[in-house]
Amino acid sequence: MDATIVHNLHALLVQSTSNDTVQLKAATAQLNREFYKNPACIPALASIIASSPEQAVRQLAAVELRKRVSQNSGDLWLQLDSDQREQIKAKLPELVISETSNLVRHSTARVIAAIAYIEMPLGTWPQLLPFLEQTCTSPQAVHREVGIYILYTVLENIVEGFESHLQSFFKLFASLLNDPESAEVRITTVRALGVVAQYIDSDDKADIKSFQNLLPAMINVIGQSVEGGNETGARQLFDVLETLLILEVPILGQHIPQLAQFLLQCGANRNYDPDLRVLALNALNWTVQYKKSKVQAHGLAPAILEGLMPITTEEEPEDVDDDAPSRSALRIIDCLATSLPPTQVFPPLRQLIQQYFQSTDASHRRGAMLALGVSVEGCSEFMTPLMSQVWPIIEAGLQDQDGSVRKASCVAVSCLCEWLEEECAAKHAFLVPTMMQLVNDPITQRSACTALDALLEIMHEVIDQYLNLIMERLVGLLDTAPIAVKSVVIGAIGSAAHASKDKFLPYFAPTMERFKHFLVLTGEGEEQELRGITMDAVGTFAEAVGKDVFRPYFADMMQQAFNGIELGSARLRECSFLFFGVMSRVFGDDFAPYLPNVVPALISSCKQAEHGEEERLTISNPEVAAGFASGLSPANAIAVTDEAQVNIDDDELDMDKLLDVNSTICIEKEIAADTIGTIFASTRQHFLPYVEQCTIELVGLLSHYYDGIRKSATDSLLEIVRTFYDLSEPQEWQPGFANVVPLNPRVKELIGHIVPPLLEMYESEDNKKVVSSLCVGLAETTTKLGPAFLEGRLEHFANIAIQVLEQKAICQQDPDQDESEDAPEDSAEYDSILISSAGDLVAALATALGADFASGFAKFFPLISKYYKKNRSLSDRSSAIGCLSEIIGGLKSAITPWTEPLMDLFYRALSDEEPEVQCNAAFASGLLIEHSEVDLSPQYLHLLAALRPLFVVAPDAPAAKLNARDNAVGAVGRMIVKNTAAVPLDQVLPVFFDALPLRNDYLENRPVFRAIFHLFSTQPAVLAPYLDKLLHVFAFVLDPNGPDQVGDEIRAELIALLGLLNREEPAKVQAAGLSAFVPGQ
């Protein structure tokens, strides 16, 4: 080795450790230019590690040596002659053991790993493993620490070459996990096991069993770190645990109950460091999310909830971005509610809420309200019939003597309004005055405004009586409230406009005047948030008052939106994009002049990188999502590479800042991708010059790691297909493949660019919301484009629906569930949304194919009908019957072979306890009678008896019951038309006509009026006693001031009938106010 090279290299490394930036840059440039391209630098750097008296220089030499060895797949290393390589391989292990600095030891260990990566596959370093085993079993703790760390770093690089050694490693690890002296040995062993786990295959039963035998000891090591307050070690160990949780190999399966109990104990122990408790609770959250089949099978939810409730009572930090055990506990309750069947979650939670709410301790009552709030999202359907028992708790909470309880109760109301609209809107008489009172209370002001915002959004018809009071109170707060509260107030004003529509007109101009100065704020943080929310509210105003009233503000507001984009804030860009989408919907063609500025901004957003300024950091895990720093994503989702001059400790990196930057950019991209589809649908032909570029960008986003972006890209791409098709002036299609109307060649070409990447995305898509969106989008596109869209794709689309209905899609798979097992019938409410979406896709296929779908229905019927069982959720039961009704409408007479099993199923559904299911069953049974060629008249009396209870409805009944009545009326109309003689008209007509006019489901007016026309033409005498009633119904449906209730065809036939009736009963026609409709009058 050339001593001059070593000397000069050492001098430059010393210079590189200087704090003088000029010297540092000069040294770096010279090193790169004169040394680092020459293989001789490798032995020189090894010599410096061995001989330099300065720790910083040895450390830098080790970092640089690893880089040089790894450079160009080991090219520089392999240029050394074999003697030099052997010398270095022999020397480095000795250096590591004798090195006194832990940092230098670790960096040198990584050099050994880099060399092993090259040499081990070639079989040219047989001494390494025996050395490591010897070192790991040394009587000296420091040697064991070095040995296991080198083994850990080597495994990180080349575990594939070590499969044959795994069993001996497991024996070694079993001993090291119980090292009597060194916590470092125990912790590094767990980390090494975390690496090994990633390379165990599902078929390697012996390795899985050996690994599982070590799990109790691994859990003990985590517990020791938490108990000892070793935050660095605990973070590393929880990283390993999170890795094990997301692996597809069922390593943790049988230990889930013990793991959940251990994590809960760590998270609940108030003697432990709060940050470590949060880590334990976040790991529990991931356990519920990724091992939900085991959590469900073992019935762990009640015990977990019982352990979490005391944590919810702990103090919350002031800053909403700060984490704390109480917030982590609430996140887990939310996760339990959305991941598990509500039957396992809400009953035990309700008991705990009632128990805690009766406590004299205000923190217990606060915890109860917050737990109730977070559970609503996943349990809303299950909760609906129980709300009469929930409201008294809410009402008491809003009036509690303690401000923190009132505040928590406002949060719960916000959640209830989002997921239980009807129930909350019905409580307006209590909620609105109470919220208005709490808005005046400084403690609850912000939370009350947020709750009021959510409430106003769903009030619709009843908002009129409160609008003046609400606007007066809210506008007043714009002068007095702090900025953070002003943002919420403006959101509430926007919701008031949304609910009141044109009744907002008197408030529109003065409110816009008040908003002006908020739209020009430029300060970071709260000011930008206020500006963004104001922009959102202005968009809502435009939709409420219409384009003519809003037009004077249009140009100025668009300019403010463009200005917002220029300020460099992802949040403001997001608000501007949302605003563009709203404006395009409101103004349509008039929005076109803005496209040359709007579309490039959207495309630029879709293209932007997400890694902020931190070049050292790369996102490596596709699970990373917008919830990063909230404990919703694994801590190991970020890979840290030490490409900088000096190794930087993980703790020095501002992870939270990076994650925050990425999450806000992801949300901005999601909105941008979604807005592209909205704007094309609104501006139509004006958007054509941008279709190709937008399509290319959106297709590129289908592989993005954030599911929200994939969902938006999917929605917009299929929207682009549908809009492009509309613009091609298509002929009306007929069902079936016999007479397919060919697609315009350009439409066909566009579909060829869009659909294959969507199908490719589905093959690996693990997010249920994205798959649900894909199913709904494909269904809408199939319904619009018809059978031509299915040519060459029918099997692909049908397979997606089959996989989802069989619960075998990638997004439904659980590695801990045996493949031979059926998925559990009791599932989370979110799972039902996916099943319903697959049903939409099947129904669309039936609509497009007509009778050609009959052979496919043989496969789909059992898959769909299995979702109608008493133990299935309301959503499953309702969507199963709804899907079958749409399929009957598509197949028409081709449904005949399945008449009997379908009718049996519909009879069961008609006696379901839920009106939503009864509604769909009434519709489905009517369609079956209309289209089946089987004579069902012998069943008419049985079916009429089953439908009769649906006619008994109070005027203030829930919408589902009113809809069920309308669908029952439609079913009777279809029966009359199909076989009048089989209907006992003397008993049926009084009930039938008494239910008219329909007030909810106007589509059912078609079969109703076809029955009326049929009776007028075949048995007019039976209608004579009901003529006055019928004329009243006719006047109601023809009212020009109301919505269209019957469609052009029925209206024309009805007007012709009025002409005939006017000849016979002109006085009655005139008395009913129908003379103006009589032809020739």
| Burial track 639-649 (b if 16+ CB lie within 10 A, e otherwise) | ebebeebebee
| Model pLDDT, residue 1080 | 72
At 661 the pLDDT is 53
72 exposed, middle or buried (CB, 10 Å; 0-12, 13-18, 19+)? exposed
948-979 pLDDT, tens per residue? 999 999 988 888 999 999 999 999 999 999 99
The 10s digit of each residue's pLDDT in 243-267 is 999 888 888 878 999 999 999 999 9
Mean pLDDT of 144-153: 91
Q: What is the pLDDT of residues 9-49, one digit of tens each?
A: 999 999 888 788 888 888 889 888 889 888 999 999 999 99
pLDDT in tens, 410-426: 999 999 999 999 899 99
How many angstroms separate the CA atoms of 1015 and 1019, rounded? 5
| CB-CB contact of 424 with 431 (8 Å) | yes
Mean pLDDT of 851-874: 93
pLDDT in tens, 476-502: 899 888 898 999 999 999 999 999 999
Q: Write out pLDDT tens, residues 378-395.
A: 999 999 999 999 999 999
> Which residues, 6+ apart, have CB-to-CB distance to 331 below 8 Å?
281, 282, 285, 374, 630, 631, 632
In this predicted structure, the answer to whether residue 108 has a pLDDT above a threshold of 90 is yes
Q: Per-residue pLDDT averaged across 161-183, rounded?
A: 88
Q: Specify which of 130-139, 626-635, 649-658, 836-845 reaches the highest per-range mean pLDDT.
A: 836-845
Residues 6 or more apart whose CB falls under 8 angstroms from that of 883 comprise: 836, 839, 840, 842, 843, 864
Instruction: Answer yes or no: pTM beyond 0.85.
Output: no
pLDDT band at 664 (very low <50, low <70, confident <90, very high): confident
Residue 791 has a pLDDT of 94
Report whether pLDDT(166) > 70: yes
**What integer pLDDT is reported at residue 823 of this predicted model?**
61
Q: What is the pLDDT of residues 1011-1057, one digit of tens each?
A: 999 999 999 999 999 999 999 999 999 998 888 999 999 999 999 99
Q: Are 277 and 267 a contacting pair, CB within 8 Å?
A: yes
Do residues 755 and 791 touch, judged by C-beta distance below 8 A? no
CA atoms of 1032 and 454, how far apart (whole Å): 39
- In 3-state terms, what secondary structure has residue 468? helix
Residue 167 pLDDT greater than 80, yes or no: yes
The b/e string for 493-527 (b: 16+ C-beta within 10 A; e otherwise) is: bbbbbbbbeeebeebbeebbeebeebbebeeeeee
Structure confidence at residue 662 (pLDDT):
65
Q: Which of 973, 979, 968 is nearest to 932 (CA)?
A: 979
Strands (E), 564-663: 617-619, 638-640
pLDDT for residue 644:
32
Contact status, residue 868 vs residue 877, Cβ threshold 8 Å: yes
User: d(Cα 273, Cα 265) in Å, to the nearest integer?
Assistant: 13
The percent of residues above 70 in pLDDT, for the chain, comes to 93
Q: What is the pLDDT of residues 593-633, one digit of tens each?
A: 999 999 999 999 999 887 543 332 333 333 322 332 333 33
Q: What number of residues does the chain have?
A: 1081
Q: Which residues pair with residue 640 across a beta bridge?
A: 617
Quickly list H helices, 180-324. 183-197, 205-227, 231-246, 256-268, 274-290, 292-297, 301-312
3-state secondary structure 1013-1074: HHHHHHCHHHHHHHHHHHHHHHHHHHCCCCCCCCHHHHHHHHHHHHHHHHHHCHHHHHHCCC
CB-count burial class (<10 Å; 0-12, 13-18, 19+) for 951: middle
> Hey, what are 860's tokens?
């789909």
Beta carbons within 8 Å of 531's beta carbon, 6+ residues apart:
518, 519, 520, 521, 522, 564, 572, 575
Task: List all residues 6 or more positions away from 765 whose beta carbon is below 8 Å from its beta carbon.
Answer: 710, 771, 774, 809, 810, 811
Contact predicate 167/206, CB 8 Å: yes
Task: Provide the 3-class DSSP secondary structure of residue 89.
Answer: helix
Element spanning 837, H or E: helix 829-849
Rounded Cα distance between 845 and 794, Å, is: 8
Instruction: Quote the pLDDT of residue 524.
Output: 85
Between 657 and 772, the higher pLDDT residue? 772
Residue with tokens 């165990």: 200
* Span 869-879, average pLDDT: 90
Q: Quick one: average pLDDT of 698-707?
A: 95
pLDDT of residue 203: 84
What's the longest Cα–Cα distance across the chain? Answer: 122
Contact criterion met (CB below 8 Å) for 576 and 534:
no
Q: Can you read off the two tokens belonging to residue 1040?
A: 């020009």
pLDDT of residue 816: 65
Q: How far apart are CA 939 and CA 935, in angstroms?
A: 9
Amino acid code (one letter) for 269: N
d(CA 717, CA 692): 11
What letter represents residue 937's amino acid? S
Mean pLDDT estimate for the chain: 90
Cα–Cα distance list, 97 to 108, 149, 445 (Å): 10, 11, 63
**Is the previous residue joined to 689 through a cis bond, with omega within 30 degrees of 0?**
no
Residue 142 burial (10 A CB sphere; 0-12, 13-18, 19+): middle
